[in-house]
Amino acid sequence: MNNNLGFNFDNSYLTLPTTFFDIDSPAEFPEPCVAIVNENFATEIGLDFSSLSSEEKAKLFCGNLIPEGTSPFSQAYAGHQFGNFTNLGDGRAHLLGEHLTPEGVRLDIQFKGSGRTHYSRRGDGLAAVGPMHREYILSEAMHALGIPTTRSLAVVHTGETILRERHLPGAVLTRVASSHIRVGTFEYAAATRNPDNISALLDYTVERHFPELAESQTKAMCLLHAVMERQIHLILDWMRVGFIHGVMNTDNVLLSGETIDYGPCAFMDRYHPDQVFSSIDQQGRYAYANQAPITQWNLVRLAEALLPVMGTDLEACAKEAEELLISFEQLYQKAWLQMMRKKLGLLGEAADDETLINDLLAYMQRAGADFTNTFRDLSTADHPTITDEEFTAWYLRYQNRRLQHGQSIEHSIALMQSVNPFVIPRNHQVEEALSETENNNLGPMLHLLEVLKKPYDYTQACESYQSPPEPSAHIYQTFCGT
């Protein structure tokens, strides 16, 4: 296909040893049809599809028309899934290529649901309409919330039916990511038992994401440190908005620090630290409050994979890595406290801030308080209407603390409103919008996407999206959607 769309491909991943990828083409889809294209995002990254007919767009975004200058491929990786090591790879994804934006930013453009690959194992390589639109909504919502994430450029309905627990319409999502280098990619490299593969991936990752480490004599250790910092920031963002990823397997952890893979993820309505939505997470491994400890566990897997190239004295390197990873807990706790202070509009530091914060959370848990609305209510100038005795006593302590450090209420409120969203993609509303997409009615989804664009601004339009679900509409489980 003639490339007058702004694509500027440079597939640097293909300079890695060939064990890391497989050159491969998406499946043929006889009757693809465009459901949605993220035109604003396309413009931001230097792409323009206005010259294309809708048929051409459909073919482009299901991988059936390949722009000049690239050649699709799938990536190899491994991963610990719910604690168990497995070799995986892109079983239903093809990278169209790496696009360099006019600003020189390198982005992976990837199709998800685009057919079988070398790595498909027993899977059909396909995806259903619902989960692909779900990823579109959630990734765009996360971006609007200011949280690092992969983005969504388009969804195409393939016109084919795929078999899951029932027959479902198929779809392909075009995902855009800073890269798809995962903790599981390093685990894959380590599993080849060839240190040259690990070194090659290390050099490549440093050059792509952490060029400031390129000259370091202890590159692998520095990378581990830098990735740990990014992961801490990411998890804190999730905790701040009540996001539960649901499948924090090591193949779903990107070294770039972006959120990836919106399978059974969900935002909490009622606060509970043990909240789990995913139907496949029976043990609560990836529950809300477990997300930081699991991240530390995932980083240990990265450290193990990097160890063979960390230095000559393996024992000393292992000890240093262990100490670094132990420091995760303190670093995270400190950053969490700081994040929670912002959510409550507390400037400066007071000795009993942690108790004050934990007491509120304990009350919220007991009362089944809505996570988003509780913090939003606290960030309006009015006194909350809650009459509960425990809450009233807490609120008094809170007001006193808030006026310490010479801070004004206005300043406190401004701080709170910058970190506490008014609207989040609530599960029941996302599900409602998605059920319509199966019938090709995209209206509710487009409306939801519009409201989610400015989650920190109060608008009339967002009012109806602020309500927690009625008990009958409460969603207790989400499904992986593979």
Task: List residues binding ligand AMP (CB under 6 A).
Answer: 88-92, 120, 123-126, 247, 251-252, 261, 263, 480, 482
Task: State the Cα–Cα distance between residues 146 and 301, nearest whole angstrom.
Answer: 28
Using DSSP, state whether 198 is helix, strand or coil. Answer: helix
Q: Is 251 in the active site?
A: yes
From 205, 142, 214, 144, select the one nearest 178 (Cα to Cα): 205
Task: State the Cα–Cα distance between residues 178 and 148, nearest whole angstrom.
Answer: 10
Is-contact 119 90, C-beta < 8 A?
yes
Q: How far is the CB of 168 from Mg ion (least distance, A)?
A: 19
From the list ligand AMP, Mg ion, none, partner contacted by residue 92 (C-beta under 5 to 8 A by kind): ligand AMP
Q: How far is the CB of 260 from ligand AMP (least distance, A)?
A: 8
From the list ligand AMP, Mg ion, none, partner contacted by residue 44 (C-beta under 5 to 8 A by kind): none
> Which candidate in 90, 237, 251, 370 is catalytic?
251
Among 252, 278, 295, 298, binds Mg ion (CB under 5 A): 252
Q: How far is the CB of 156 from ligand AMP (least distance, A)?
A: 16
Neighbours of 177 (CB within 10 A): 20
From 112, 150, 107, select the one nearest 128 (Cα to Cα): 112
From the list Mg ion, ligand AMP, none, partner contacted by residue 123 (C-beta under 5 to 8 A by kind): ligand AMP
Using CB positions, name the residue nearest to ligand AMP.
123
Question: What does 153-184 look like in DSSP terms, one character per residue?
Answer: EEEEEEEEEEESSSEEEEEEEEEEES---BHH
Residue with Cβ nearer ligand AMP (180 or 219)? 180
From the list ligand AMP, Mg ion, none, partner contacted by residue 88 (C-beta under 5 to 8 A by kind): ligand AMP
Residue with Cβ nearer Mg ion (252 or 417)? 252
Query: Judged by CB under 5 A, does residue 90 bind Mg ion?
Result: no
Q: How far is the CB of 260 from Mg ion (least distance, A)?
A: 7
List C-alpha distances in Å: 370 to 59, 235, 374.
43, 20, 6
Task: State the Cα–Cα distance between residues 214 and 199, nearest whole angstrom.
Answer: 12
Task: State the Cα–Cα distance between residues 268 and 239, nearest whole angstrom.
Answer: 10
Residue with Cβ nearer ligand AMP (263 or 425)? 263
From the list ligand AMP, Mg ion, none, partner contacted by residue 83 (C-beta under 5 to 8 A by kind): none
Span from 97-105, 160-168, 250-258, 465-473 in contact with Mg ion (CB under 5 A): 250-258
Containing 22, the helix (H) or strand (E) segment is: strand 21-23
**At 275, which amino acid appears?**
Q
Query: Judged by CB under 5 A, does residue 261 bind Mg ion?
Result: yes
Query: Which residues are catalytically annotated?
Result: 251
